[in-house]
Structure 1
């Protein structure tokens, strides 16, 4: 009666190189899932904070009071940071009697653009790792498969009569590496594509706010010049 061979047994009996490939893929999968959970939490928080800030900003709150409230915080993210950077630069330039509305607008726009780049860089953190896992995991698994099959056929060289029962375990353990490579790659690719799309939407939302806020500050600067 033939002895049933489990996947766990195949992994334990695999060659050292194939086992090393499997261990590498398992670690990559674990780290990618950790990154997926962390990025999901960060992006969800970014969208919620952006909506919360916009609701408060467009509610008619006094911008000076909003700036003072946000400046009192230790850490600022997203639109909070962009608004604070823009309003701070606007206040600094508005004190200069020789500053034109155009120069004030350029200064505030540059300040918010720098902050925007930093915030998007935060949101894109670890996405490159997911892209790397998604792109190279199948090849690492394929390498383990090729190595395992090659080792199995080399071992058959010393056997006078090869049977399917002798070849099957070696090929099966090698194919496990390919399966593990796909198991690591597929979630990473799906998460990368989804998160990249989310970051693009958040960046577009930030950019729209930056333009709208810049227009508000520009109108205020023009009004201040006319009042002098």
Structure 2
């Protein structure tokens, strides 16, 4: 890496960015093959609760509550069992991988930049995905599953890495390496309104696959657009 010198730090989102599908749908599809009645009863109860919460607090609240509910279905599973599940997830819908962005990430690495996949997705999913698409030597910062002393999943997750939390996690990551955002050139590739705090924090914000509202915000903020060359 250019004699060990990092040229820039590049953060890349997962859902809607590196992966252009819906990871919730993929989780359902893989769970159909793996889950029994016990797991589905947990997911179903969580879905009812999530819908009720979403009606009161909105789409983001629905997604976060459902995320927690799905994690409860992992209770009692070992890390090895979960690794098998997330490997299946990573391989399930590869046609929706944003391969052109994957190549851009590899180019960043080739010129000495350090890449961090920064996402609200679960850490074992991010690790399986980056491995599957050949993104080697990238850091991953995602939502953690909680395990007990025997290595069994407690069916709980840590703080969801979303919105302002992405900035908090990036600052902490830089601090652990004795670095400061003031001294580094920072890039971000992401897609949604929830990424606004991150976009406002970095030097080079690249908006990927934006919807119409996000396009309007991006134009107002003079953020950059990642435009695939085949368009």
Please say which structure displays the higher CA radius of gyration.
1
Which is richer in strand? Answer: 2
Task: Give TM-score scaled by structure 1 length.
Answer: 0.22
Task: Give TM-score scaled by structure 2 length.
Answer: 0.22
Which is richer in helix? Answer: 1
